[in-house]
Amino acid sequence: MNASGRKRLNQTPEWTALGEHRERLGRTTLRELFAADPDRGEEYTLRVGDLRIDYSKQLVTAETLTLLRELALATDVAGLRDAMFRGEKINTTEDRAVLHTALRAPRGAVIETDGENVVPGVHAVLDRMAVFSEKVRSGEWTGHTGKRIRNIVNIGIGGSDLGPAMAYEALRAHTARDLTFRFVSNVDGADLHEAVRDLDPAETLFIVASKTFTTIETITNATSARDWLLAGLNAGQDAVARHFVALSTNAGKVEDFGIDTANMFEFWDWVGGRYSYDSAIGLSLMIAIGPERFREMLDGFHLVDEHFRTAPAEANAPLLLGLLGVWYGAFFDAQSHAVLPYSHYLSKFTAYLQQLDMESNGKSVDREGNPVDWQTGPVVWGTPGTNGQHAYYQLIHQGTKVIPADFIGFARPAGDLPPALLAQHDLLMANFFAQTQALAFGKTPEEVRAEGVPEELVAHKTFRGNHPTTTVLADELTPSVLGQLIALYEHKVFVQGAIWNIDSFDQWGVELGKVLAKKIEPVLTGAAGTEGLDSSTASLVAAYRTLRGR
Ligand code: F6P
């Protein structure tokens, strides 16, 4: 029992029941489950907005799903969900509300935190972003020399980079092709150098995106970008106003940096960094796709928010996906989860989900600070198909690990592919469907032998199958569909955090490295000595100094 009176997760009867059920399920195969129920494909499919979510190739029966839903009930997932939507401070370690859902609430909605309706503020910022975006898109916003802006460079890291960068790639077919977009995040100077080396400073707008405006990588890159701009324009500080805007919650720090707060688009501390690209942090995206499409994307998010908030447990997609993850982590010892989009435009999707999921649920103490003795968030990984098929799918098919995977694909390619390339889409999607089929049903030794394979190769050519996958199929990757997908994963992560009883909205685990880097930097430059460092770090740092001639 916890201090809050909540039973520890693995001491609940629902957890025990799931463990016993897992034993009974034993080595039941997907072949058997499909043979027993010819309609399984249709029955184990949910439809949410434009998403068709087929979970029939999951290692679950109707009983598994019932038991998982009972676990969700026992851990009061719905109670925490409602508290989140109501604006309660469910991020307890930071004493903050968690209201990214307010970022996509319709204009007339009322969502209060600390006694204030936050929705009018959200729309006021969206409106300002729209005006600014249109000015840049139309060429009305000019740089210091009067030239129109043609290049937009977003400088940010983590949630202030991954979201806009991912969404820009995802919606590239919908972007203004006469503008160039670059995303700079790494404090490695090569990132900024490569981003600006072929740009004309007179035509370049920097968007400095940082919730706190104190993140060392972002402030360092922004300072270097300002130096590059002023040197390139041969201008003074007054040139900054036409070439720098800020996206932040911290007006004071924005001003300290030298950006006029008239050129700042604000958001709020109840928006977590990894939940922020539908806030002002999405300004670069809005410039790229235009305000109208940005709003379509927000509507897509909102559609899934409403689904999550209101759909019954049996039909609630984020709940289901969250429960499946809990099932494999706890009862199959799955350590990772692959997300495999069959769309080149989703090349950054999994990297984005890594922060969303791993920064949210990579925790090992519960809400009360007690160590958990159950698995929490998985390692999330993956790249777009079909590339992975020629790299690491071997391990998924025939390795020793349980790797649940999500396959995401589209009936039609986005945008305006020329007819010759359009024809490739069926090949892409044939692979998409074939892989989940192969993973689920494999190939038995008998089937291999029947092909005349010599006995010594039979084991090598056998596929044991039974690898669980979810297939998400949509018509086309539109702004709305992207919003639906992201909200689906946001709420899936939420469900898992609620069940594991962890705070999914803090990120204390990133702090120690930051503090140590601050201490080590002066040692590298020679401003401080190596005393006090452990022997490994001291000798590495000494070697670095020697190599740098210091
Ligand atoms: O260090 C982790 C983190 O705080 C992330 O949670 C966040 O998305 C990122 O850094 C960037 O933070 P900021 O937007 O404040 O620069």
Which tens digit of pLDDT belongs to each residue from 486-533?
999 999 999 999 999 999 999 999 999 999 999 999 999 999 999 999
Query: What's the pLDDT score for residue 312?
Result: 98
- Residue 162 Cα to ligand 1 midpoint, Å, equals 11
Q: Which atom of ligand 1 has the smallest separation from the CA of 212?
A: 15
514 is catalytic: yes
Q: Which of 21, 359, 363, 397 is catalytic?
A: 359
Matching residue, tokens 């495999």: 340
- Residue 246 Cα to ligand 1 midpoint, Å, equals 15
- List pLDDT tens digits, range 377-389: 999 999 999 999 9
Q: Among 510, 512, 514, 515, which residue has the most ligand 1 atoms within 8 Å of its CB, making it the best to mutate?
A: 510
- List pLDDT tens digits, range 259-271: 999 999 999 999 9
For ligand 1, whether the C-beta of 465 sits within 6 Å is: no
For ligand 1, whether the C-beta of 212 sits within 6 Å is: yes
- List pLDDT tens digits, range 49-70: 999 999 999 999 999 999 999 9
What is the DSSP-derived secondary structure letter of residue 372?
Answer: P
For ligand 1, whether the C-beta of 151 sits within 6 Å is: no
Q: Give dist(CA 167, CA 161) in Å, integer.
A: 10
| pLDDT of 334 higher than 70 | yes
Q: Which of 20, 43, 194, 514 is catalytic?
A: 514
Query: What's the pLDDT score for residue 2?
Result: 66
| pLDDT of 425 higher than 80 | yes
Binned at pLDDT 50, 70 and 90, residue 115 comes out as very high
Residues 6+ apart with CB under 8 A from 104: 278, 298, 299, 301, 302, 305, 483, 487
Query: What's the pLDDT score for residue 416?
Result: 84
Return the structure tokens found at 255.
Answer: 């001003």
- Residue 532 Cα to ligand 1 midpoint, Å, equals 29
For ligand 1, whether the C-beta of 273 sits within 6 Å is: yes
Q: Which atom of ligand 1 has the smallest separation from the CA of 511?
A: 1
For ligand 1, whether the C-beta of 211 sits within 6 Å is: yes
Q: Give dist(CA 406, CA 493) in Å, integer.
A: 14
Binned at pLDDT 50, 70 and 90, residue 415 comes out as confident
Binned at pLDDT 50, 70 and 90, residue 1 comes out as low
Query: What number of residues does the chain have?
Result: 550
CA distances from 168 to 159, 225, 285, 418 (A): 14, 21, 6, 21
Q: Which of 390, 446, 460, 531 is catalytic?
A: 390
For ligand 1, whether the C-beta of 226 sits within 6 Å is: no
Q: Among 100, 184, 187, 507, which residue has the most ligand 1 atoms within 8 Å of its CB, making it the best to mutate?
A: 507
Query: What's the pLDDT score for residue 5?
Result: 74
Q: Give dist(CA 227, CA 219) in Å, integer.
A: 12
- Residue 209 Cα to ligand 1 midpoint, Å, equals 10
- Residue 511 Cα to ligand 1 midpoint, Å, equals 10
359 is catalytic: yes
pLDDT above 90 coverage of the chain, percent: 98
For ligand 1, whether the C-beta of 517 sits within 6 Å is: no
pLDDT above 70 coverage of the chain, percent: 99
- Residue 216 Cα to ligand 1 midpoint, Å, equals 10
Whether the CB-CB separation of 410 and 475 falls below 8 Å is answered with yes
Q: Which atom of ligand 1 has the smallest separation from the CA of 274?
A: 8
For ligand 1, whether the C-beta of 158 sits within 6 Å is: yes
- Residue 268 Cα to ligand 1 midpoint, Å, equals 14
Residues 6+ apart with CB under 8 A from 331: 18, 19, 22
For ligand 1, whether the C-beta of 507 sits within 6 Å is: yes
- List pLDDT tens digits, range 444-495: 999 999 999 999 999 999 999 999 999 999 999 999 999 999 999 999 999 9
For ligand 1, whether the C-beta of 274 sits within 6 Å is: yes
- List pLDDT tens digits, range 192-232: 999 999 999 999 999 999 999 999 999 999 999 999 999 99
Q: Give dist(CA 293, CA 479) in Å, integer.
A: 6
| pLDDT of 255 higher than 70 | yes
Binned at pLDDT 50, 70 and 90, residue 3 comes out as low
